[in-house]
Structure 1
Amino acid sequence: MNELRFRDVSVRFGGRRRGVTAVDRVDLTVPAGSVVGLVGESGSGKSTLARAAVGLAPLSGGEILLDRRRLPRTPGTDAGRRVQMVFQDPYSSLDPRMTIGASIAEAVPRGTTAAARRAEVARLLDLVELAPERARQYPAQLSGGQRQRVALARALAARPDVIVADEITSALDVSIQGTVLNLVRDLQRRLGLSMLFISHNLAVVRYVSDVLAVMYLGRIVECGPVDDVLGDPQHPYTRQLLASAPQPGGPRPALLGTLTGTKAVLDAAEPTDPHHPPAGCRFHPRCPVGPLVLQRDVCRDTEPDGAAHRHLAACHFAAPRPGLEKQAPLPTRSLS
């Protein structure tokens, strides 16, 4: 097994008065041999959660488990090497003064002979579809797509059980993104890796992922099988992400766009301050089905229970989880 589990994980930066909780009590499981896609807007906490998984962001609370054992917080330990990260910018993650071969060899487990290291570097370069002769080149001599392949090879050199991929195609040309995504999906299936794949692009996530988790303001607000979540999103934030994504044949209709004045009211709403998240549902200051439009006071006062709703959606008005369909509806007040 190589299941990665975040249990009640929190990450906070700064002091008590001016600090910010970037990740707040997150529960998320990356099943063995599966790809979990994590989406959300900039500042939602995706990359911080990824860095916490590899020990680069200190936990303020909770724990991260691999195969039900707590991961060490020191990245260089043998147990910590079982989770490896591929960063967004491959150029900044590779030492420009080291050859490609030396960078990859550095990640090979200790105790390997020099000849075995050279053979392993050649094998890994071939695995990511690069010629072994590239081992003598420097990062500056490669294209962006080639550097990202090297970053993948370097992560695989540690022989990990889990790969954390943080926006690995966002810095690449559109013409290159598809080939890198095909490579990632092929490697994941051939090697049986578990993967946490982070992206803001829903089309990319749908292509590579089995499970989709949606993050907003430090919390997971919806999570389930990728086709189920994208086919029948339960949280208003997920629906807005879908509505804002480019669609063939034109944009999707905006959520509740038929309500008179709804768009103007939402556009005038102030962005949520991550230093002072609102009480109740965190999305309610921007929600098209919440108190800003429909005067639903429960959104301001009570935090939603995701466990009670389909796709674990943290919304009071999401569809109930199968088996809970007969629960009483929550009180609402319509527009006056």
Structure 2
Amino acid sequence: MSELVFDSVSVRYGGRRGLTAVDGVSLTVPAGKVVGLVGESGSGKSTLARAAVGLSPVSAGRVLLGGVDVRKLPRRRPLQMVFQDPYSSLNPRMTIGESIAEAMPRGTDRRAEVARLLELVNLDPERATHLPGQLSGGQRQRVALARALAGRPEALIADEITSALDVSVQGAVLNLVRSVQRQFDLSMLFISHNLAVIRYLSDFVAVMYLGRIVEAGPAAQVLTDPQHPYTRDLLDAAPSAHKPLFDLDPGATADAEPPDPHHPPAGCRYHPRCPVGPLVRSDREICLRADPAEDAAPRKHAAACHFSESEGHEPAISQGASV
């Protein structure tokens, strides 16, 4: 196991006038722990993950694994990724066994190792001769996990790996991921928009908005005592046993469309949607001009909010929340 560190990572497309999809993100995945990364679509979560494995260009900063820049790691990196769509992440012309064996180091008894890995992810080893088209979505995602493990990783990134699956199989896949992570003591960045899933799997939680981390800390603390208004809005929007699925506040500013990521707002990036910001509190003009991310470190959960510690709020999600 190794610590995975994002050190002031930025990902920019299209030059100076292009899009900064990830903007100066610093985040640590401690060795052997799971960090859940949550945020709405377009917040930059998947781009950050792809940057770690070399699929998106790192414009600034570094991604370190065990203190080594991942760009200097060997071709068969000890950092692997499981992608969101199980239907496009496997080569349809390669058998399951060939896809898994492709990621193995040289000198491995490939047939025996493929069988072992398939059993590990609760698939019959005889599936090794099948093509991806003969498998269900849940089975394909298990194969994708086996292929990632074939590279003998020290760290694993899982990007929305259950969002494309039927609800009936999501729980089984999540249980498998948790079991594998503990068995191999993997460092894991687990990306999801589902807060129940994040709570189920994660030791730590990081909340991402418009390319930046706006709050991060131990999962139990962030999910029960959120400091950033965006985190609280995400938790308030999550369905629970105590409120209807569509019980939304029609006056909530968070219902507004997110700002254009090509032209992020000055000051606090969340202020155009913030329910406790300058749109509803005229005395909070500082949010319009000063970036709270610049002095976030001393605040609880390093919240990128000028008023994070002045807002009273009830615990948002119970310790017993489960998938």
CA distance in 1, matches of 2:251, 2:246: 15
- 1:250 maps to 243
Is the partner of 2:112 in helix, strand or coil? helix
Q: Which amino acid aligns with 1:82?
A: P
Q: Which amino acid aligns with 1:77?
A: R
- 1:202 maps to 195
- Structure 2 residues without counterparts, runs of 5 or longer: 311-323
* Residue 73 to residue 171, structure 1, CA distance change in 2 (3 Å): farther
- 1:307 maps to 297
- 1:108 maps to 104
- 1:96 maps to 92
In the alignment, which of 162, 180, 183 is matched to residue 169 of structure 1?
Answer: 162
The question of whether the paired residues in 1 share the 8 Å contact of 2:49 and 2:157 is answered with yes
* Residue 265 to residue 174, structure 1, CA distance change in 2 (3 Å): closer
The correspondence of residues 113-124 of structure 1 with structure 2, limited to 5 A, is: 116-124=109-117
1:3 maps to 2:8? no
The question of whether the paired residues in 1 share the 8 Å contact of 2:254 and 2:274 is answered with no
Q: Which amino acid aligns with 2:299?
A: H
The correspondence of residues 313-332 of structure 1 with structure 2, limited to 5 A, is: 313-319=303-309
- 2:269 maps to 282
CA distance in 1, matches of 2:47, 2:120: 29
CA distance in 2, matches of 1:294, 1:33: 43
Q: Which amino acid aligns with 1:104?
A: I
Post-superposition shift, 1:73? 6.3
1:224 maps to 2:217? yes
- 1:14 maps to 14
CA distance in 2, matches of 1:195, 1:32: 8
CA distance in 2, matches of 1:32, 1:53: 16
- 1:330 maps to none
Post-superposition shift, 1:310? 0.6
- Structure 1 residues without counterparts, runs of 5 or longer: 258-262, 321-336
* Residue 136 to residue 14, structure 1, CA distance change in 2 (3 Å): same
Is the partner of 1:8 in helix, strand or coil? strand
Post-superposition shift, 1:16? 1.7
The question of whether the paired residues in 2 share the 8 Å contact of 1:243 and 1:254 is answered with no
* Residue 73 to residue 289, structure 1, CA distance change in 2 (3 Å): farther
Q: Which has the higher helix share?
A: 1
The question of whether the paired residues in 2 share the 8 Å contact of 1:243 and 1:253 is answered with no
Q: Could you state the TM-score of these two structures normalised by the residue count of structure 1?
A: 0.88
The question of whether the paired residues in 1 share the 8 Å contact of 2:83 and 2:158 is answered with yes
CA distance in 2, matches of 1:65, 1:269: 36
Post-superposition shift, 1:232? 0.6
- 2:173 maps to 180
Post-superposition shift, 1:77? 1.2
4+ runs deviating over 3 angstroms: 251-255, 267-271
Identity of aligned residues (%): 69
CA distance in 1, matches of 2:116, 2:254: 53
* Residue 177 to residue 270, structure 1, CA distance change in 2 (3 Å): closer
CA distance in 2, matches of 1:274, 1:163: 28
Is the partner of 1:93 in helix, strand or coil? coil
Post-superposition shift, 1:111? 3.3
CA distance in 2, matches of 1:29, 1:266: 31
In the alignment, which of 81, 84, 88 is matched to residue 85 of structure 1?
Answer: 81
The question of whether the paired residues in 2 share the 8 Å contact of 1:8 and 1:61 is answered with yes
- 2:320 maps to none
The question of whether the paired residues in 2 share the 8 Å contact of 1:243 and 1:251 is answered with no
CA distance in 1, matches of 2:264, 2:71: 30
CA distance in 2, matches of 1:252, 1:101: 42
* Residue 277 to residue 70, structure 1, CA distance change in 2 (3 Å): same
The question of whether the paired residues in 2 share the 8 Å contact of 1:55 and 1:73 is answered with no
Higher RCO (CA 8 Å, separation ≥ 6 residues): 2
Deviations 1:171-192 (A, max 9, x none): 0011100000000000000110
Is the partner of 1:150 in helix, strand or coil? helix
Deviations 1:301-332 (A, max 9, x none): 11112112111110001128xxxxxxxxxxxx
- 1:33 maps to 32
Deviations 1:200-237 (A, max 9, x none): 00000100110000000000000011110010110000
- 2:319 maps to none
* Residue 16 to residue 108, structure 1, CA distance change in 2 (3 Å): same
Q: Rg larger in 1 or in 2?
A: 1
